[in-house]
Structure 1
Amino acid sequence: MRIFLATAILCCAASGIPAANAAQVSDALATIESKAAASHSDAVLVLRGDTVLFEAATSAEPVALMSATKSIVALAIGLLIEDGKLGSIDQPVSTVYPEWAQGRKREITIRMLLDHTSGLQNVPNAGVELESAPDLVQLALAAELTSAPGTTFAYNNKATNLLTGIVGALAGEPIDRYVAARIFAPLGITDYTWMRDAAGTPMGMAGLALSARDLARLGRLILDKGIAPDGRRILGEDFTAMLTAESARSPEVGLLWWRHAAWERYTLKDEARAFLADKAVAPDVRDALLATAGMQFGSRIALTDFLAQRLGPAWPARYGEEITGRGIRLSDMFTQARGPVRAYAANGYLGQHLVIVPAQDIVAVRLIHRRETHAFPGDDYADFVGDVLRLADAVEADMPEA
């Protein structure tokens, strides 16, 4: 730890943090180091500007980003706008797929696919119907509606897969090639893989693998408002701002990017027991939710991890059937208090995280390979975003007043 502390102090000095108070930053970095090691992380990288504050990796090879892939898919939509291939994200999907030009699906816009408000039927556990599907785009096109388009926020893997089809149709090439040429190449990203379905379409819900260093380059692109290190504009400034702006139906999301507040508090409502009984929620899911009584959770991830522990490996399907499938929202059961938004993130299964904190110019990445020892769908480092925000607090305390 002494070696780490000395290194951290040197990094603090290099990044403009006064040495007199650098111990606060070093303590915050030591917490990240300790938790990253305890959770068997394969790569952790924390940058302030161009300065590495902390880095640890078992290897530099790409790691599957899981659902963090979705945030990169959103960048491809921005490319379409920048290239003049898409006029607006409020364009109806039916302009690309005419089979939706009738019925309620004609109301679905590209924005709704990006902010999880399309209303398309979706099973929360991707393994149930998506991972074995031969054509994910056609599966999404054929999906029924479970809510009116644009009215309800509901995290949706199936709808996200439709975005890769839209990019392929408008760009004239698959999304992996389009993004590689227009984003990855200018940023110096060459080592990556992107899984495709049996029909040959790159996945949208997951499937991209990148190293921590390369993922951090994408975070820096967002912080720099779409401009590459060589000064080339890749994404429009207005679009990069839209990526992280609050969506119409949830303060927690932008366009496939998560918005993290300075603090959050989730507590079970007193009336939750009667509410769940009235909705006839199955005993196993009801009891898992009621077990949170008297507890306070500092993030949605911490809350869902608790539920995952209680319900076991099948928890996404059970929660989807009994809660999401019944139109029940988290806010129906829990009181949520949120502070001001300070960070934006791309997050994925097992704890894949890309976190950017604009005010302190911080980019942080945590990645982990999937292992046989992963017994349930949870986040192996659920508090990573919170620890990065605590680091940002330490950096801010050391920053001179303007």
Structure 2
Amino acid sequence: MRAPLLACLFFLALRPFAAAANTPDALAAIERNARNAHSDAVYIESGRGVLLRIAPAAGEDRIHLMSATKSVVALAIGLLLDDGKLASIDEPVSTVYPEWRQGRKRDITIRMLMDHTSGLQNAANAGVELEGAPDLVKLALAAEVSSDPGTTFAYNNKATNLLPDIVQRLAGKPLDVYLDERLFKPLGITAHAWMKDQAGTPMGMAGLSLSAVDLAAIGRLMLDGGVTPGGKRLLSERSVALMTAESARSPDVGLLWWRIPAWEHYRLKAGAATLLSARSMDAVMLDALLAADGQVFDSKLALISFLAERLGPSWPQRYAAEITGRGLKLGDIFDIDRGPVAAYAANGYLGQHLVIVPDKGVVAVRQIQRRESHSAPLDDYAAFPMDVLRLAETL
């Protein structure tokens, strides 16, 4: 879970795509790229059935979803709405935690926990203060507010760790039990595991392990508007739509689900040098950013790769300190042109991907185990969403 925001930047990497010559070519490209990236599991299906499957080694089918866990946690909030246990995602969090009925925390809503606009203080690298913390809920409740709630998008692991406890308080049972009863078992998902903190609360920022096939079942549920292949409704259409509706502060996100555009273009802003100098940007990072002047990058992957090449092996730590650590995002530094939203995704560190292409009925999963030998960015397979979109265009 190190540098989760950087991972998400990689996962959202897309560039304009042309349709592959045919479906077999597109599938062959995905299989080749997946194997080159040491993928443990790949599963792709459409209305035609299973298009591609790379199965993991026997007994290793459950893989940690990392931050893709957040997207599943979001579905629990949707279930609370459907069950009448939560009136609205715009309810103040203080209705659950009365100690927040003061100061700026009184303005934080459940929606803000889910679209990364809560304003809670948060370290860019989750490993700094969250991994190994004995009680993640208490840690989040005690956090200071670093920006006015609802005003700024800032990817926030700490805030999402409140959601499992909110589910438990409103549903009357732990998050993992609630989802097992209301979502997993009806979908036929029987083999799953959820990491918990020392207080016994399931993690919200990460922690769920599923097989590729089971993760795809969740994707298919989203694709089909909350209805199982057998015709049973598990989520209302309203709740499904909420998950992927554009956030007021970032076009990239819904409610813990990512929105994937068909294409993006990045150009350094005319006033970027002035902005970065005013923030006392590290000279090495400043030089790397300003070297982009005059260039057009056709994906986040291309832009981040450009920066990584200039910053060297320690680029993730430098990026976390100098960009996200200063409250900046790419949109502050680069002009961004985006195409229409073409897919939705749940993504996680190391290259865990669930991609849903609604118009083409495609659900695609790529997973990789955590290993010391992991080599980023190759093993992250950041281009997987783009490859899936190329495949979808052939169907």
Query: Match of 1:323?
Result: 323
Q: Distance in 2 between matches of 1:168 and 1:306?
A: 44
3-state SS, counterpart of residue 84 of structure 1 = coil
TM-score (norm 1): 0.88
In 2 relative to 1, CA 41–268 (structure 1 residues): closer, same or farther, beyond 3 Å? same
Q: Which moved more, 1:210-219 or 1:265-274?
A: 265-274
Q: Distance in 1 between matches of 2:316 and 2:121?
A: 15
Q: Give the Å deviation of 1:23.
A: 5.6
Q: Distance in 1 between matches of 2:331 and 2:95?
A: 35
Matches within 5 A, 1:321-360: 321-360=321-360
Query: Match of 2:6?
Result: none
Q: Distance in 1 between matches of 2:372 and 2:131?
A: 18
Matched, 1:148 2:148: yes
Which blocks of at least 5 consecutive residues in structure 2 are unaligned? 1-18
Q: Give the Å deviation of 1:320.
A: 3.6
Q: Give the Å deviation of 1:39.
A: 0.4
Q: Distance in 1 between matches of 2:379 and 2:201?
A: 28
Say whether the 8 Å CA contact 1:308–1:378 is kept in structure 2: no
Query: Match of 1:194?
Result: 194
Larger Rg: 1
In 2 relative to 1, CA 377–138 (structure 1 residues): closer, same or farther, beyond 3 Å? farther
Q: Give the Å deviation of 1:132.
A: 2.2
Query: Match of 1:211?
Result: 211
Query: Match of 1:29?
Result: 27
Query: Match of 1:269?
Result: 269
The answer to which structure, 1 or 2, has the higher relative contact order (CA under 8 A, 6+ apart) is: 2
Query: Match of 1:51?
Result: 49
Q: Distance in 1 between matches of 2:133 and 2:308?
A: 25
Say whether the 8 Å CA contact 2:21–2:394 is kept in structure 1: no
Say whether the 8 Å CA contact 1:219–1:354 is kept in structure 2: yes
In 2 relative to 1, CA 278–23 (structure 1 residues): closer, same or farther, beyond 3 Å? closer
Matches within 5 A, 1:255-266: 255-266=255-266
Amino acid in structure 1 at the alignment position of 2:260: H
Report how many residues are paired.
375
Q: Distance in 1 between matches of 2:48 and 2:181?
A: 24
Once the two structures are aligned, what percentage of the paired residues are identical? 65
Which blocks of at least 5 consecutive residues in structure 1 are unaligned? 1-20, 396-402
In 2 relative to 1, CA 33–26 (structure 1 residues): closer, same or farther, beyond 3 Å? same
Q: Distance in 2 between matches of 1:152 and 1:71?
A: 20
Q: Distance in 2 between matches of 1:152 and 1:379?
A: 31
Q: Distance in 1 between matches of 2:46 and 2:107?
A: 43
TM-score (norm 2): 0.90
Amino acid in structure 2 at the alignment position of 1:238: R
Query: Match of 1:16?
Result: none
Query: Match of 1:250?
Result: 250
Q: Which moved more, 1:213-222 or 1:283-292?
A: 283-292
Query: Match of 1:39?
Result: 37
In 2 relative to 1, CA 295–191 (structure 1 residues): closer, same or farther, beyond 3 Å? farther
In 2 relative to 1, CA 303–119 (structure 1 residues): closer, same or farther, beyond 3 Å? same
Q: Distance in 1 between matches of 2:380 and 2:41?
A: 13
Say whether the 8 Å CA contact 2:82–2:235 is kept in structure 1: yes
Amino acid in structure 1 at the alignment position of 2:357: V
Q: Distance in 2 between matches of 1:158 and 1:101?
A: 19
Q: Give the Å deviation of 1:308.
A: 5.0
Q: Which moved more, 1:94-103 or 1:320-329?
A: 320-329
Amino acid in structure 1 at the alignment position of 2:98: P
Q: How well do the aligned residues superpose, as a CA RMSD in angstroms?
A: 2.1
Say whether the 8 Å CA contact 2:130–2:158 is kept in structure 1: yes
Query: Match of 1:116?
Result: 116
Q: Give the Å deviation of 1:30.
A: 1.2
Say whether the 8 Å CA contact 1:120–1:146 is kept in structure 2: yes
Matches within 5 A, 1:238-317: 238-293=238-293, 295-304=295-304, 306-307=306-307, 310-311=310-311, 315-317=315-317
